[in-house]
Structure 1
Amino acid sequence: MRRFSPEYLDRTRRGMWTESRAALDPLDLPSRSRVLDVGCGTGELTQVLADEAADADVVGVDADTDLLAVARDRTDLSYCAADAMRLPFPDDAFDLVVCQALLINLPDPAAAVAEFARVSSDLVAAVEPNNADVAVSSTAASESALEQRVRSAYIGGVGTNVALGDRVRQFFADAGLSDLRTRRYVHEKRVEPPYSESDLKGAARKASGAGLADHETELREALGPDAYDELRREWRSMGRNVVEQMQSDEYERVEVVPFDVTVGRV
C-alpha cells in the first residue's frame, strides 16, 4: 500500500466536508452506535463521523503509525494500528464501516471491501475520488494543461487504480452487499485573494518543484527520467508565474474533485 505524509493529507483533504455533508446522509450517522473509519490517516473523516454520529463510539484505524500519531494529537477519539485487509475485530463489531480515498490506493480493493463487510452488522460505505474526472482552471496560462499531463502520467504510473469509478459498486456486490446506492460529492478547492498561508506555501512548492516531487516515483515510472525532468522544468516555470500573479493579487485557481459515496447493506 502507498504511504502519504501528514502534510500531503492536509493539502488534499483540507475543508472537504466544510460546505456540505449531504453526501453522507445515506450513512444515517445520527442512528449509529459503533462506527469504524478504515484508512483514517490523520483523522479528518473520523472527526466528521464523530460530529455527525454524536452518540456513537467512533474508531479510526490505519496501517501508518506516523499518521495515527497526528490523529491522536488532534482529537481525543479512539485510534489503532491495523491493516485494512486484516482488521483486528470480530464479525459484526460495528454497524457502519467506512473509508475515504482508501480503495484507490490498495492493490486488492475487493478484498478490503469483503473485510469491511465481515466486521459490519449493517452498512459499509466508501468515499472514493475519481481522479480521471478532476478539473482545474487557473489564471496561470499553463497550469491547467500541466495539471492534466501530471494527472494522466500519475494514473499510468501509480500501480493501483486511482480512478475506480463504477468498479466500487461491483466490489460491494461481490462482497454480498445489497441495497447499493451511490451519491456524488464534489469537493471544490479555491485559491483566490486574500491568500491564506497555505495558499502561499502551495505556490512556493510549485515554484520549487516540491509539489511535483510528491509523486516523483510514479511520474518517473510513467514518463521516464528525461521526460520527467522536462516536466519538472515546465512545472517550476509555471510555479514562478503563480508567485508573480499572487504578488499582484491576480492569481485564482479552482480544482474540482468528484467523490462517489457508495453505500451497501450487509
Structure 2
Amino acid sequence: MRQFTADYLDETRRGMWEDRRALDPLELGDADRVLDVGCGTGELTRVLAEESPGEVIGVDADADLLAVAADHAPVVAGDATRLPFPDGSFDLVVCQALLINLPDPAATVREFARVSRDRVAAVEPDNGAVTVDSSVAAESRLEGRARRAYIDGVPTDVSLGGTGTRRVFDEADLDSVETRRYDHERTVAPPYSESALSAAKRKASGEGLTDDRTTMLNGDLSAEEFDDLRAAWRAMGRDVIEQMQDENYRRTEVVPFFVTVGRV
C-alpha cells in the first residue's frame, strides 16, 4: 500500500469539508458508532465527530499519522483488511481516499461490511479527471501529461472514483448503493501561502517530478521522455515564480471525489 506523510495529507485535504452537504447520504445524525478506516491525520475523523451524535473512532496502520489523528477522536492501530473489531460493531464504516491505494478494494469493503451493522461508505477521488486552470499557459498541459504518466505507473486504480467504487460495492454484495459527486477545489492566489511558495520552488527545481520518477517510469514513459518533461516542468516552474513575484499567478485545481454509500 502507498504511504503518505502527515504534511502531504494536511495539504491535500485542507478545506475539503468546508461544505459538508456531500456527506448527507452517510446519515451521520443516526450513527451511534462510526469507524473511519485509514483515517490518516484524522481530517475526516474530525468532521465525522462534529456531525455525529455518537462515538467516532479512527483506525490506521501508520503510528505517526495516528498520533496526529488522536487530537480529533479515539484511535486504534489496525489494518484495513483485518480490522480489530468484532462483527457488527459500528453503524457506519467509512474511508476517504483509501480504496484507490489498495490492490483488492472489494476485499477491503467486505471487511468493512463485516464490522458494520448498517452502512458502509467510501469517499474516493477520480484522479484521472483532475483539472487545472492556471495563469501560466503551460501548467495545465504539463500537469495533465505528468498525471497520466504517474497514473499509468501506479499499480492500483487511483481513478476509482464513482463508477469504480460502485462496482467495488457491488462486488462486496452491498445493497442500495448511492453515489454523490463532490468537487474539492483548491486555489492559489495572492497573498501566497508558505505551502504555495514551496510548491512553486519544487516545480522550478523539478524536485516534485523527481520524487515520482520511479512510478512514472513503471508505465510507458521512457527515461528520455521523463527528462524532456522535467525540463519543461522546471521552465514552467520558473514562470510560476516570476508571476508570483508580480502577484499575477492564479491556479485552480479541481479534484472530483465521489461519496458512495451502501447497506450491508
**Which range, TM-score by smaller chain?**
over 0.9
Q: For residues 54-73 of structure 1, what are the structure 2 equivalents within 5 Å?
A: 55-72=53-70
Q: Distance in 1 between matches of 2:106 and 2:72?
A: 31
Q: For residues 172-183 of structure 1, what are the structure 2 equivalents within 5 Å?
A: 172-183=169-180
Count residues in correspondence.
262
1:164 and 2:168 aligned: no
Q: For residues 92-111 of structure 1, what are the structure 2 equivalents within 5 Å?
A: 92-111=88-107
Which residue of 200, 203, 206 corresponds with 1:206? 203
Q: Would you say the 8 A contact 2:35–2:90 is kept in 1?
A: yes
- How many percent identity over aligned positions? 63
- TM-score between the two structures when normalised by the length of structure 1: 0.95
Q: Where does the alignment leave 5 or more consecutive residues of structure 1 unmatched?
A: none
Which amino acid is the alignment partner of residue 13 of structure 1?
R
Which amino acid is the alignment partner of residue 29 of structure 2?
P
1:217 and 2:214 aligned: yes
Which amino acid is the alignment partner of residue 14 of structure 2?
R
Q: Distance in 1 between matches of 2:67 and 2:227?
A: 35
Q: What is aligned with 1:119?
A: 115
Structure 1 segments of 4 or more deviating over 4 A? none
Task: Note the alpha carbon deviations across 1:75-100, whole angstroms, 9 max, x for none.
Answer: 14111221111101000001000000
- 1:177 CA drift (Å): 1.1
- 1:216 CA drift (Å): 2.6
Q: Distance in 2 between matches of 1:137 and 1:58?
A: 37
Q: What is aligned with 1:42?
A: 41
Which amino acid is the alignment partner of residue 202 of structure 2?
R
Q: Would you say the 8 A contact 2:46–2:72 is kept in 1?
A: no
Q: Distance in 2 between matches of 1:122 and 1:236?
A: 50
- TM-score between the two structures when normalised by the length of structure 2: 0.95
Task: Note the alpha carbon deviations across 1:178-198, whole angstroms, 9 max, x for none.
Answer: 111000001111111121222
Q: Where does the alignment leave 5 or more consecutive residues of structure 2 unmatched?
A: none
Which amino acid is the alignment partner of residue 229 of structure 1?
D
Q: Distance in 1 between matches of 2:214 and 2:6?
A: 18
User: SS state of the match for residue 242, structure 2?
Assistant: helix
